[in-house]
Copies of this chain bind each other. A is one copy, B any other.
Amino acid sequence: MEVIPDDFSLIEDRLHHYVDAGCDLIFTTGGTGLTPDDITPEATRAVIAREAPGFSEAMRIEGARHTPLGILSRGVSGVAGHTLIVNFPGSPKAIGQLFPVLVPTLAHAVRTLRGDSRHGQRD
């Protein structure tokens, strides 16, 4: 776990670092709002090669069940190399609400990212 400032190049650089290190999953938190310094989604988009928008869409839908402000999160999700990157909002409360949306998908996601050639039900 690493804490870094809202600096586009720095976020991009650290994401590349963890992708190159072979991490299966990278979760970022914060920097997904409308404040001018919220640029985590843009830095993430610069790193991913293939978007996987269903994670972010489902998290916004779940977020909106808890507060109308849930739709404000601009988080993106996608794949770089063999790594899945997902942007979470910064609020610990929101993270606790949204993480369960991902949990049932992560084992399958990691297996397919590693190139398991047996296609699953939904590929």
A-side residues, CB < 8 A to B, are 30, 32-36, 38-39, 41-42, 50-58, 60-61, 63-64, 67-74, 79, 82, 84, 89-91, 93-94, 101, 104-105, 108-109, 112-113, 115-117, 119-123
Contacts and interface: CB of A to CB of B under 8 A. Distances in A.
B41 A108 contact: no
Given A54-B60, A122-B63, A123-B89, A105 B33 contact: no
Given A34-B84, A39-B50, A41-B50, 19 more contacts: A33-B120, A33-B122, A33-B123, A34-B52, A34-B79, A35-B112, A36-B82, A50-B74, A53-B74, A55-B71, A57-B71, A58-B60, A67-B121, A68-B104, A72-B105, A90-B119, A90-B123, A91-B123, A93-B121
B32 A123 contact: yes
A70 B115 contact: no
Nearest to A109: B34
A112 B61 contact: no
